[in-house]
Amino acid sequence: RINPYLCHLLTRYQSTIFPNHKSCVRKKGVPIRKEVFIKNYIKALNNGDAAVFAGAGLSASSGCVNWKQLLGEIAEELQLDIEKESDLVAIAQYYYNKNGSNRTRLNDIIKDAFQTGKNPNVNHNILARLPVSTYWTTNYDKLIEKSLENNGKICDVKTCCANLTTTLKGRNVIVYKMHGDVDHPEEAVLIRDDYESYSQEKRPFINALSGDLMTKTFLFIGFSFTDPNFSYICAHLRTHLKGNMREHYCFLKDISRDDYEDESEFEYEKRKLSYFIDDLKRFNIKTILIQEYSEITEILRSIKRIYNSRTVYISGAAAEYEPDGKDAYEKFISKLSGRLICEGYKIVSGYGLGVGSAVISGALTEIYYNQKMSLTDQLILRPFPQGADAKKLWETYRQDMISYSGISIFLLGNKEENGTIVMSNGMRSEYEISKEQGNFLIPIGRTGYMSKELWEDLLREKQDEHTFDIYRHDIESLGDSKKALDEIVEIVIEIIKKVK
């Protein structure tokens, strides 16, 4: 037993008494673990307060230039080596000064670099499918808003202070382009004069970003943190909040030994990065270190997959209900839908023939009578458009529906053609789309038809995949014709819980 007062003294002065003790050493420059970031950012997505701050790096793989590439030509005209210059804003200012305060050439450079031939990349598209309603960017390109619009979002773009006073009807995303837009290069923030006058001329943007930094959880992606406007905003926020800043996250590339011939140079850059990571913590920005830029895509996909695992896509169609009969299968589907809602999952369905009404019945019973929740929060119904021309859109329509989900369930799967019952090729298509999008696949082979074929395919594909072993027995049970349909419902729910 230790005297309490002695214990107090040991705790208070342990850094002096035990200078090498683990708890006494403050770890500097330590990044946050990816798993911790993913968990915390998904929590922000669920709370509706996740935001993205995008720099030039986000658009790099779409072919957009970075600042060195943008200003490379004018640096040559100034007889300067762009690789030796760190203050790139100064390069633009020097050129502006040399041309008698005429920025026509600079405006043309922005137009030529960002206006044509660029399409959103995979990271744009993953972000666009997440429930992020606030984007901030220093980029001039239109790739963020294009990716959002491609994914059915109504995007309210703010490129100047006047835009901040208007609201686009029906918007579900706001994109703040704090340095302007390629369509108005004459107003873009580019030269030192623009940065020096920003706090006066763009004060509404500063106020808006300050408010979002206090109320939302940001992910900084492709951003170098060298922008003086952003540094100004963070410094003022930190002063006013006395260090009580909201937690944010950023991706930074680790220093690779392969990039340096000299060991001492490598150690120098590594040490410098460590100090930089520690300095970001002053603004409560935690760093996720990556070895390769492709890791960002993997992490974003993990976020989307885990977030979407709360939403289940039900694929099914039936003109025939062998061997259990129509009533038995409708009760089974209705019970399964109700149990999914009861367990807190959202359902997406295309209202398949002979299946859709049972999905709705089970979901509505649970939502209205037991959960007392909003219908739109738990059930997304997307009946397929009909008609010869409309069928051309079905593939795109399926991709859009399935993108909301992280788990896909397949049951039954037949239709009538010319008086004959055939397999549902639409279900096969939805299976392939679900697999391509990374959904967890649950074909219920017990219900026969196409779902049985898909069940057999899945087990064949996963026969040597050890990570699938945790689900293997349950998935195999879904094809057991001796199991009661009620028992199948419980097996499906157990699989989904394991996935989550």
Which of the residues are catalytic? 179
* Cβ neighbours around 232 below 10 Å, total: 14
Nearest Cα to Cα of residue 198 among 114, 91, 89? 89
- Do the Cβ atoms of 350 and 356 come closer than 8 Å? yes
Q: Which residues are CB-contacts of 389 (< 8 A; sequence separation ≥ 6)?
A: none
Nearest-angstrom CA–CA distance, 27 and 358:
57
Residue tagged 């995008």 (tokens): 54
Q: Look up residue 77 and give its two tokens.
A: 């005209």
Nearest-angstrom CA–CA distance, 421 and 198:
69
Q: What is the CA radius of gyration of the chain?
A: 28
Nearest-angstrom CA–CA distance, 378 and 94:
58
- Do the Cβ atoms of 296 and 31 come closer than 8 Å? no
Q: Is 378 left (phi over 0), alpha (psi -120 to 50) or beta?
A: alpha
Amino acid at 495: I
Strand order in the sheet with 311-317: 379-381, 346-349, 311-317, 407-412, 440-443
Query: Taking the alpha carbons of 373, 374, 375, 379 in that order, is the dihedral positive or negative?
Result: negative
Three-class SS state of 254: coil
Give the helix/strand (H/E) hosting 420: strand 420-423
Nearest-angstrom CA–CA distance, 442 and 438:
13
Angle at 279 between CA 131 and CA 139, to 5 degrees: 45
> At how many degrees (to 10) do helices 356-365 and 326-342 cross?
40
3-state SS record for 116-147: CCCCCCHHHHHHHCCCCCEEEECCCCCHHHHH
Give the helix/strand (H/E) hosting 39: helix 34-47
